[in-house]
Amino acid sequence: MELLRFFTAGNVDDGKSTLIGRLLFDSNSISTDIIETLTKQSKVTGVGAEIDLALLTDGLRAEREQGITIDVAYKYFSTDKRKFIIADTPGHAQYTRNMFTGASNAELAIILVDARNGITDQTKRHSIISSILGIPHVLVCVNKMDLVNYDEAVFKKIESDYLEFAKPLNIGKISFIPASALAGDNVVTPSENLSWFKGPALLQFLEEVEIVKNTVVSDARFQVQYVVRPQTDDLHDYRGYAGSVLSGSFKVGDKIKILPSENETEITRIESNLKDVTEAGAGLPVILHLKEDLDISRGSTIVPANHLPSLEKEVNGTICWMDNSAYKPGQKLIFQQNSFRTKAVIKDIESKVDIHTFENLESDGTISLNDFCKVFIKTADAVSFDSYQNNRKTGAFILINENTNSTVAAGVID
């Protein structure tokens, strides 16, 4: 069964958590004991309804007291047609870093717009972040249609305004759905109140939308997480390289190259779940065995000998600064891409991205919390990578403070 990962974003009080709660509740994806607990908690919050659906995702006590979503809340549910993982991301501007995290693995963005307010700065911010992250499909859900008397003209105006704004964003596909999460209109089933809308309800849309994987299938990539050397009497000469296939597929007999050493060899055996297989595709955890014993360690990348990624000690990328402390020029960092780590330094801040207009602004040399910047990074060891637009798995990275070991930025390679 296919898995669709999507995230929700929007202004505070646009109804993201309520929308997800309605989706789970009306699709019978919540157990009876959880419903009973939420019913009791709803009486405490005094929302005026029998059950406060937003509580399904607002899991932190502090959030409930403030009535906002601060952290990224993940929920899983499934129907007969598809499995889903939802990331409910914060609406406040100061939590942009959380949204960046929640969106990084998504195939679909659901951006909520309050029908009363139309397109706002936060709508633009979230759409631009979706563009930077290469989200292939954006769904604009115009919520709270009940508060504008289900007026088709209001919906059409928001649709027109958004399409005009989104022209330069390079978003693969944009869809629109009117709904009322609180009233349940057009979330799981079509609503008579929105009879003028001929498209699907949200759940049907989620079940049928094409899942576009932002990875070039032919780019086979594998990164070593662990070198398996039991050195027991029975397995004295055993040497395998454990990890998950990042993209593409590998077969027994493939001619491969090890990066960054650039040594060439051949795959002689592939193990998966304690069984030998002849081929392993993207996402499958495997142990690869190679013809020669080479100098391979955690973080080494295995690729087809005739289909190589870039291998450089210089990387151009776009980063979102996640640390409360501002960037300090010359700051010692660790560049991490999956299990590969090397020392790094930001040599140049080329520009800042205005995430309200998508314009590149001249850099003032500073990077603060939630800033998006185009940067030039030098690394101690060569990094093997593809551009993020071609392969999310090898085109994404994080930067770690070498002294505190805290993650200070997440980025994508241009």
Task: Please report whether residue 330 resides in a domain.
Answer: yes
Does 265 share its domain with 357? no
State whether the Cα torsion 153-155-161-167 is positive or negative: negative
Say if pTM beats, i.e. exceeds, 0.85: no
Q: What is the pLDDT of residue 335?
A: 96
Count of domains for the chain = 3
Residue 68 pLDDT: 37
Report the alpha-carbon distance of residue 206 to residue 307 in Å, rounded.
35
In DSSP terms, which residues pair with 388 in a beta bridge? none
Read off φ and ψ for residue 40, nearest 5 degrees.
Answer: -65, -45
- What pLDDT is recorded for position 334? 95
With a cut of 70, list the residues of the chain below it in pLDDT: 13-14, 26, 28-74, 89-104, 213-218
Residue 56 and residue 117 in one domain: yes
In a domain, 286, yes or no: yes
At which of 208, 231, 249 does a domain end?
A: 208
Q: What is the pLDDT of residue 59?
A: 46
**Residue 383 belongs to domain spanning:** 310-413
What's the mean per-residue pLDDT of the chain? Answer: 84
104 shares its domain with 155: yes
pLDDT digit string (tens) for 11-48? 776 677 778 877 777 676 665 555 555 555 555 555 44
Both 42 and 95 in a single domain?
yes
